[in-house]
Structure 1
């Protein structure tokens, strides 16, 4: 039966592997382009310091490079948001609304309110009052 399951799942696993490889390749290309932009910015700053270019030329080139860097960041952020939303969709399908600890406490308090509990919020001291510890002499006397 396991062999049949593996045979039936093979096309899906293959497609998933292909998409993972495409994602890795795209990520590597974005990283390489980011490195190129950073190197170009470094060269631009060096050229300005050495007087090879004017301030106006520097400003226009720098702005173009920074805009491209911002565009890369925006694409990465959008990709991360899409991945997070997809993960939430997958995770949310089998979980209830009390899946996070903070949210679980809120749901529990709401449930207590709905059944008519007068005060679902904790009241009083949660920790017992401190007691005075026995002295070493008292401990020695008890041990003998």
Structure 2
């Protein structure tokens, strides 16, 4: 009886396993994007501190990066 149960449920278990793998890959990709944005923000602050960009340039770029970061944080929930 267990053999028949295994044969019947195998396709479903395969689909669930595949869905879990896709979900994990999506979360990993999202985490990499968040890390990239965080790194870009850090670099932006360094450029401002070094006087290599103006306050206006900084504000514009910071807003774009923070908007991207907010998008990823909202999608996590």
Q: Which residue of 2 aligns with 1:25?
A: 25
Number of matched pairs? 77
Structure 2 unaligned regions, length at least 5: none
Partner of 1:45 in structure 2? Answer: 45
2:28 matches 1:5: no
Over the residues paired in the alignment, what is the CA RMSD in angstroms? 0.4
Equivalent-residue separation in structure 1 for 2:38 and 2:69 (angstroms): 9
TM-score by length of 2: 0.98
Shift of 1:44: 0.1
**1:69 counterpart residue number:** 69
The structure whose Rg is larger is 1
Give the C-alpha shift of residue 71 in structure 1. 0.5
Instruction: Map Cα deviations across residues 104-131 of structure 1 (whole Å, 9 max, x no partner).
Output: xxxxxxxxxxxxxxxxxxxxxxxxxxxx
CA distance in 1, matches of 2:39, 2:3: 52
Which one has a larger percent helix, Structure 1 or Structure 2? 2
- Distance, in Å, in 1 between the alignment partners of 2:38 and 2:75 is 17
- For residues 3 and 42 of structure 2, the distance between their equivalents in structure 1, rounded to whole angstroms, comes to 56
Higher relative contact order, chain-length normalized (CA < 8 Å, sep 6+): 2
